[in-house]
Structure 1
Amino acid sequence: MPPRAAILQLFHEASCIAPRPVTRDEFLARHYMRGPDVSAAFGDTENWMGGVLSALAGRGITPEIGLCTAALPGGPLTRAGFETLLGELLDSLDAILAQGPLSHLFLLLHGALLVEGVDDPEAVIARAVRTATGPATRIAVPLDFHANPGPGLIEAADIVIGGKLYPHTDTRARGARLVNLAFTPRRLSTRHVGLGVQVPMPRQETTAGPFAELAALTDRLEGAAVADVTLLGGFPFSDAAHRGTSLLITAPEGHDPAAIVDRMRRAVAVRQDALMAAVPGAADVMPELRAALGRGRVVLADVGDNPGGGGTGGETTLLPHLAGLGVAFGFGFLVAPNLVTAATAAGMGGMVEIPTPAGPIAARVERLQPVHYRNSGAMMRGEMLDGGPGAVLALGRSRVLVSSLRVQAYDAEAFRAMGVAPETLDLLAIKSIGHFRASYTPLATGGVLLVDSGGLSSPRRAPPFGGTTARSTPPALLQT
């Protein structure tokens, strides 16, 4: 009998300090689809789904695609929203299983989902899927680089791998690798081991520096005896008991991962200081920024207000500092629906005030248009982003990009789509932690700097590592 494979997805990264919970509506707004619609939307994209679909197609397999849905990073998912989405996910799986058993199931999860009142919700999902398919189906799970997988997920699945790169420029390739591992004739299984540390997200980047060295080491640890080693950065803004930087080791059943774990722990220990280095605040970064501007165009990333990591995107702490530099800068996205409304009322050429902690800044409305563009860089190339109604505000030669919905301008196409050429600016200030590097680094002739505005994605706001407790899960939910 030829292999019969299926795909399911329930993808969300949740911050325990975000002020507002996420509901099912946010999943409906981003994407909520099944069947051929999924292949049409993601088949050519550079993400996990694109990689899984392309690798299955290469094997001559047309998968059955059940519910695939995702929400933008935000607060924990409500209990009601989770139970509804899980029920819909399982209903779509039941419809697939009604046509016969599956040899393989690819369950696309983030790994940092939080749900109000539920401990380890992704384990709940994986167990429910395993109950539905039975033990003969090989379940393979890809996780985001920032995942915090719990033991229940690892036990329910056969193979679990993660992305290795931050920015996540390897997800399509890793999706294809997951498929190849799942179809390996020898029986593989995955072990998960915490490394006893939580590396802050700004220091998890893998384009250079200590975490890049650790990620490269995982490649060298793979070989005939070990099929895959993933170093997960982990998502610090979580209250899950199992959060932290960790390892996924996929090998033949019975393999002892002790030597690999020891090697990685020693490698982390000698880089501890660099991995934990603080990010300067707005005032403290100014001398370094002025010096860098003397060398060329600078990209300044505000790690403290990243909409892709739980930030609101509405912090304006940096703006007065940038306005005093006397250079042409671009700032985006400022997530401020009220400001977009005011700009719309003022009309093209009208004046509005941007609120900042140091007082309002007057700006001229240069452009009014929806924030809607497709990524063109290496990070999630081909994906469409939607920030709702938007505006471009002019401060002399500088431009502020404003959106109504939370969206991260990690791709330079964000500026171009709003009529602003990033190459014409001296400074690009982006609300992002690491994803921006894939698209903006080639523009940074004067260098890349990080700054912490103190927003909800500030490393200073992450819960103390090792000092949290698990959420509670009612027994009835575990039996879903």
Structure 2
Amino acid sequence: MTLTFLERRPVIAIAGLACETSTFSPARTDAPAFHPRRGPEVIAEYPFLNASTALGSAAEWHGALIGHALPGGMVIRDAFEELASEILQRLEVILRKGPLDGLWFDIHGAMRVEGIDDVEAELLQRVRSVIGPDVIVSASMDLHGNVSKNLVHQTDLITCYRMAPHEDELETKERACQNLVDILKRGPGRAVRPFKAWVPVPILLPGEQTSTRIEPAKSLYGLIPGVTKVPGVLDAAIWVGYAWADEPRNHAVVVVTGWDAQPVSENAERLAHYFWDCHEEFKFVAPTGSLMECIDIALASPSRPFFISDSGDNPTAGGAGDVTWSLRRILSRPEFQNPSGPVVIYASIPGPGAIDRIVQAGVDAVVTVTAGAEVDHVHAGPVTLTGRVHAIKGGDRDAVVEAVLKVGSVFVILTKLRKPYHHEKDFTELKLSPRSADIVFVKIGYLEPELFDMAADWRLALTPGGVDQDLPRLGHQRIHRPMWPFDRTFPQAPDLHAHLIAPSNEPLLS
């Protein structure tokens, strides 16, 4: 007996590629960097889709392919084509087994591929060519992603994180899936599509000025739960956008989704106006300064450990991770040249050749190695280090091999491939104790939760690199102007009227 749509569990596929991509970094991202997951591996990535959970049992979930790369440089075109083609092939296999009702599009939103603008919309357009126009698509994104009108037009449900740092990542992805299941319970195809109100906002700020830990972002994002409780509204989302790429789609966006056009549009505009009204109030999440100013403050402070963000080369924002500009200056400080000086940890600098030499020499050996600037040599050349090998560790997902070289009083972490250092175990597994260090340098922007809780005090050093916090000096050419903070005066107030897309996915109001 054939079950009707409402009698059977909906069938939902999962696909997506994610890579936060700086167009100001000379680095390139290849296919293996996405660590692709296929079929059952996809389902296993998300604990909320376990068959024992209510959501996992509410639908028949099929993994096509997902790939999440560490943020970095431009994605090589052939790499994208390879992965995108496999997604389409795997969706075709799923479709051959029976009808497909929904698709969860798991993306970041700030990926840049050689020769393709708005690549997430391009990927979804290709996916639509396989799954057809009637499959309901729910997208989940990073709030630092970019939402073009084309992308929101092709999705039916779209949401993003509400916290920066992204402590609600899994919660957001679960919400995207739950919304999709709930909407499919209403019936098949186009008949159940909600309204979407899209409002572009001419603001493009780095995450370090829009953290939800502080005002005004804290209050801005604090409005979202109230909006979602408005009758006729299903979801509300605010994107800050991605500041380190130069594309026309790079700017802030508000999207509200729901069943009643009027509250959907009105609340989208209300959020957009609140965002714009406080645009001059966004400040850095921590006190800032030049690298040397931050070091001087740290040395004079009694607070320990004192963290300093080497923000311009942050690999979790898209930096190459091998800029040596800061490390060179740290090692030149006379305070750190004596082995008994202040205990300093520096995380980190890639050097494949240096790692090979260190591994060959072994722990406690004194070696001279050269590292860094193999990818980004615009800001400084390679750095040569002579020191004692403190620790060696293999098997890391990102770094592959890590080593610690003590140079003077500085414990320099070297890696075979770049790696972000966000967790205490990242240090302790290398026989380092960040809690008892005097100063800890990390290539990061705002401190991730574990580091933030650990730091007695911290500063954000405004250092150069592919994700420079001083946005105007990067040289954007393709973003829409005027745009805050690139432009400090606007000839007229921005147009913050909602672009409403009707349930048919045809533009209702442009």
Say yes or no: does 1:332 pair with 2:347.
yes
TM-score, normalised via structure 1 length: 0.84
After TM superposition, list the pairs within 5 Å mapping 1:44-123 onto structure 2. Answer: 44=47, 57-123=55-121
1:84-112 deviation line (CA, Å, top 9, x unaligned): 22111100000001111112111111111
1:247 CA drift (Å): 1.6
Higher alpha-carbon deviation: 323-332 or 415-424: 323-332
Measure the CA separation in 1 of the matches of 2:124 and 2:26: 28
SS at match of 1:7: strand
Which of residues 407, 418, 432 in structure 1 aligns to 2:444?
Answer: 432
Q: Is the 8 A contact 1:199 1:276 kept in 2?
A: no
1:152-189 deviation line (CA, Å, top 9, x unaligned): 21111100111111111101111111122222346434
Q: Is the 8 A contact 1:55 1:176 kept in 2?
A: no
After TM superposition, list the pairs within 5 Å mapping 1:387-466 onto structure 2. Answer: 387-434=399-446, 436-445=447-456, 447-460=457-470, 463=474
Say yes or no: does 1:341 pair with 2:365.
no
Question: Percent identity among equivalent residues?
Answer: 23
Higher alpha-carbon deviation: 144-153 or 17-26: 17-26
Q: Is the 8 A contact 2:355 2:414 kept in 1?
A: yes
1:55 CA drift (Å): 6.4
SS at match of 2:223: helix
Q: Is the 8 A contact 2:49 2:55 kept in 1?
A: no
Closer, same or farther in 2 for the Cα pair 1:271/1:165, shift >3 Å?
Answer: same
Bigger Cα Rg: 2
The residue aligned with 1:370 is 394
Measure the CA separation in 1 of the matches of 2:299 and 2:269: 43
Measure the CA separation in 2 of the matches of 1:242 and 1:454: 24
Measure the CA separation in 2 of the matches of 1:139 and 1:400: 46
Measure the CA separation in 1 of the matches of 2:296 and 2:83: 49
Closer, same or farther in 2 for the Cα pair 1:55/1:251, shift >3 Å?
Answer: farther
Measure the CA separation in 2 of the matches of 1:280 and 1:117: 37
The residue aligned with 1:220 is 226
SS at match of 1:344: helix
Closer, same or farther in 2 for the Cα pair 1:56/1:108, shift >3 Å?
Answer: farther
Measure the CA separation in 2 of the matches of 1:73 and 1:205: 18
1:138 CA drift (Å): 1.1
Measure the CA separation in 2 of the matches of 1:398 and 1:54: 49
SS at match of 1:192: strand
Which of residues 285, 288, 292 in structure 1 aligns to 2:294?
Answer: 285
Say yes or no: does 1:307 pair with 2:315.
yes
Closer, same or farther in 2 for the Cα pair 1:467/1:36, shift >3 Å?
Answer: closer
1:438 CA drift (Å): 1.0
1:267 CA drift (Å): 4.2
Closer, same or farther in 2 for the Cα pair 1:171/1:32, shift >3 Å?
Answer: same
1:33-55 deviation line (CA, Å, top 9, x unaligned): 21222233x234xxxxx579886
Note the residue ranges of structure 1 that are not aligned, 5 or more in a row.
Answer: 45-49, 373-384, 470-480
Q: Is the 8 A contact 1:66 1:92 kept in 2?
A: yes
Say yes or no: does 1:203 pair with 2:213.
no
Q: Is the 8 A contact 1:51 1:174 kept in 2?
A: no
Query: Could you tell me which amino acid in structure 2 is paired with residue 234 of structure 1?
Result: G
1:368-393 deviation line (CA, Å, top 9, x unaligned): 22252xxxxxxxxxxxx421122111
Measure the CA separation in 2 of the matches of 1:353 and 1:466: 39
The residue aligned with 1:472 is none
Measure the CA separation in 2 of the matches of 1:270 and 1:32: 40
1:332 CA drift (Å): 0.7
Query: Could you tell me which amino acid in structure 1 is paired with residue 94 of structure 2?
Result: I
1:298-333 deviation line (CA, Å, top 9, x unaligned): 122121111122212223333443753642121112
Q: Is the 8 A contact 1:306 1:433 kept in 2?
A: yes
The residue aligned with 2:42 is 38
SS at match of 2:134: coil
Q: Is the 8 A contact 1:56 1:179 kept in 2?
A: no
Measure the CA separation in 1 of the matches of 2:314 and 2:50: 28
Query: Could you tell me which amino acid in structure 1 is paired with residue 468 of structure 2?
Result: S
Q: Is the 8 A contact 2:256 2:267 kept in 1?
A: no
Higher alpha-carbon deviation: 209-218 or 327-336: 209-218
Equivalenced residue count is: 446
SS at match of 1:173: helix
Measure the CA separation in 2 of the matches of 1:153 and 1:59: 29
Measure the CA separation in 2 of the matches of 1:432 and 1:214: 24
Higher alpha-carbon deviation: 296-305 or 254-263: 254-263
Measure the CA separation in 2 of the matches of 1:78 and 1:399: 35
Closer, same or farther in 2 for the Cα pair 1:269/1:64, shift >3 Å?
Answer: same
SS at match of 1:393: strand
Closer, same or farther in 2 for the Cα pair 1:371/1:438, shift >3 Å?
Answer: farther
Measure the CA separation in 1 of the matches of 2:260 and 2:93: 32
After TM superposition, list the pairs within 5 Å mapping 1:269-284 onto structure 2. Answer: 269-275=277-283, 279-284=288-293
Measure the CA separation in 2 of the matches of 1:259 and 1:69: 34
Measure the CA separation in 1 of the matches of 2:194 and 2:283: 32
Query: Could you tell me which amino acid in structure 2 is paired with residue 210 of structure 1?
Result: P
Q: Is the 8 A contact 2:228 2:235 kept in 1?
A: yes
Measure the CA separation in 1 of the matches of 2:106 and 2:179: 15
Measure the CA separation in 2 of the matches of 1:449 and 1:52: 41
Higher alpha-carbon deviation: 16-25 or 5-14: 16-25
The residue aligned with 2:375 is none
Measure the CA separation in 1 of the matches of 2:475 and 2:213: 27
Query: Could you tell me which amino acid in structure 1 is paired with residue 43 of structure 2?
Result: S
Measure the CA separation in 2 of the matches of 1:407 and 1:347: 22
Q: Is the 8 A contact 1:281 1:454 kept in 2?
A: no
TM-score, normalised via structure 2 length: 0.80
Say yes or no: does 1:230 pair with 2:230.
no
Measure the CA separation in 1 of the matches of 2:411 and 2:67: 34
Note the residue ranges of structure 2 that are not aligned, 5 or more in a row.
Answer: 1-7, 187-191, 373-379, 481-510
1:467 CA drift (Å): 4.2
1:220-254 deviation line (CA, Å, top 9, x unaligned): 33313322222222111112211112222222252
Q: Is the 8 A contact 2:43 2:62 kept in 1?
A: no
Q: Is the 8 A contact 2:216 2:281 kept in 1?
A: no
Closer, same or farther in 2 for the Cα pair 1:193/1:465, shift >3 Å?
Answer: farther
What is the RMSD of the two structures over their aligned residues, measured on CA atoms? Answer: 2.8
